[in-house]
Amino acid sequence: MMKIGELARRTGVSIRMLRYYEQEGLLAPDRQESGYRDYSESDETAVRRIQMLTEAGLKLDAIRQLLPCMGAASPPETGAAAS
């Protein structure tokens, strides 16, 4: 788990923009009892995907619809094919 400042540093996205993504429903970090946000590796992945889609010219409304579809996206494993 990481704090918002760490996520901002790792992704290059400002703290203000991360809070905006949360407000828009694109991120849903866990909260500590103190109210601090706790971000996971999957949140970092989501932020990177949001950046990629934004750079491709998509608006947040479209990203909001696409992001859940990308949730489990991972490259297929390589190796010996079953025969």
How many other CB atoms are found less than 10 A from the CB of residue 71? 11
As a whole number of angstroms, the distance between CA 27 and CA 43 comes to 7
> Are residues 25 and 34 in contact, defined by beta-carbon separation less than 8 angstroms?
no
Check residue 70 and give its pLDDT: 83
- Tell me the average pLDDT across 52-76: 81
Check residue 71 and give its pLDDT: 67
Dihedral sign (CA 20, 41, 10, 66): negative
pLDDT surpassing 80 at residue 77: no
- Whole-model pTM: value is 0.79
- pLDDT per position as a tens digit, 5-52: 999 999 999 999 999 999 999 999 999 999 899 999 999 999 999 999
As a whole number of angstroms, the distance between CA 2 and CA 76 comes to 28
Check residue 82 and give its pLDDT: 42
